[in-house]
Structure 1
Amino acid sequence: MPKPFKIPQSVLVVIYTPAWDVLLIRRTEADPSAPAFWQSVTGSKDTLDEPWEQTAAREVLEETGLDCTPGSALAPHLHDWGLENIYNIYPRWRHRYARGVTHNLERVFGVQVPDGSVVTLNPREHTDYQWLPYDAAADACFSPSNAEAILQLPHYAKQRLGTAA
């Protein structure tokens, strides 16, 4: 049975510590001869009616082993930033989508985790990880929308604390 097409609606989850160090993960699909393909957690909805927050929590757990699903200790720290990006799907990945689909809608979330949180990568998806100060993490990202989301971290982290950015 053929694999179903991806839904062109995805999440981007910026995982960060109280010191605003950001987790970046390296995709397995990256071209070994190209610069490192570092990114935050990303992933598509499993169904059109899957809530954004459920997609975000599922992808964080699948890709990093960090659990922010409902009822977990990290669940209260997962926040929808209310940001959406529409971007052109790179031609090399369009075969994953239905014919004629060229753009994806991406919803941005953030989740604060304690310093020293243990990351367990899914080896089918990622080969390495690193924690970087948020500005360095933005510089290391392959995706412009990912870099921009990371640069928004101070605003959204301060907003969660009830202070103006």
Structure 2
Amino acid sequence: MGNKQPVSVLVVIHSRDGQVLLLERADKPGYWQSVTGSREGSEDLLETARREVMEETGLDASRFELSDWRQVNRYEIYPHWRHRYPEGVTHNDEHVFGLQLPQPCEVELAPREHLGYCWLPWAQAAEKVFSPSNAEALRLLPQKLGLALG
């Protein structure tokens, strides 16, 4: 069994006009998602979000607007990933953040974690992600940006 903490962040990286960055998982080709990752040690969740963004995209989150959406999703950990957590851990608390960039940009992927990336309009991105909590967060983006739905 692993030692991963069952506390994580989901960081929706987006542009002002509602384009969203998605990453394709290396360990599950075809599974698309926003930046995610577990807290390490005693770091606060904002530090976790900054670290995960840097590790997975090469972007320095301190150069952009990173906000805590004050949303926590509690979900059952997929059985094929439970070996990463201590024995008996079955659920994770995922804290949602948004990182607003002026416009879509190139990113530098961590090759052991991701195979590719794409920028999509928020509604298309919500349809493409495999995780229901990720889709739900993406559907909040128009409200966060003050955009009309559509």
TM over 0.5: yes
Q: Is residue 2:33 matched to residue 1:39? A: yes
Letter of the 2:23 counterpart: I
Structure with greater Cα Rg:
1
- In the alignment, which of 8, 12, 17 is matched to residue 10 of structure 2? 12
**Is the contact between residue 76 and residue 92 of structure 2 (CA under 8 Å) also seen in structure 1?**
yes
Distance 1:115 1:152 in 2: 19
Q: Write out per-residue CA displacement over residues 100-145 of structure 1, whole angstroms, 9 at most, x where no aligned residue.
A: 0000000000011122422000001000000000000000000000
If the length of structure 2 is used for normalisation, what is the TM-score? Answer: 0.94
Distance 1:141 1:18 in 2: 20
If the length of structure 1 is used for normalisation, what is the TM-score? Answer: 0.85
Q: 1:79: Cα distance to partner?
A: 0.2
- In the alignment, which of 35, 47, 53 is matched to residue 54 of structure 1? 47
Higher relative contact order (CA 8 A, sep 6+): 2
RMSD over equivalenced CA pairs, Å? 1.5
Letter of the 2:9 counterpart: V
Distance 1:152 1:4 in 2: 33
Query: Paired residue for 1:88?
Result: 76
Q: 1:4: Cα distance to partner?
A: 5.5
Q: Name the one with the larger strand percent.
A: 2
Q: Is residue 2:33 matched to residue 1:27? A: no
Distance 1:116 1:150 in 2: 16
Q: Write out per-residue CA displacement over residues 43-74 of structure 1, whole angstroms, 9 at most, x where no aligned residue.
A: 00001x311110001000100011113xxx22
**Secondary structure of 2:61 counterpart:** coil
Give the number of aligned pairs: 147
Stretches of 4+ moved more than 4 A in 1? none
Letter of the 1:26 counterpart: E
**Is the contact between residue 25 and residue 127 of structure 1 (CA under 8 Å) also seen in structure 2?**
yes
Distance 1:116 1:90 in 2: 31
**Secondary structure of 2:146 counterpart:** helix
Q: 5+ unaligned residues in a row in structure 1: which ranges? A: 160-165
Distance 1:62 1:148 in 2: 24
Distance 2:105 2:59 in 1: 8
Q: 5+ unaligned residues in a row in structure 2: which ranges? A: none
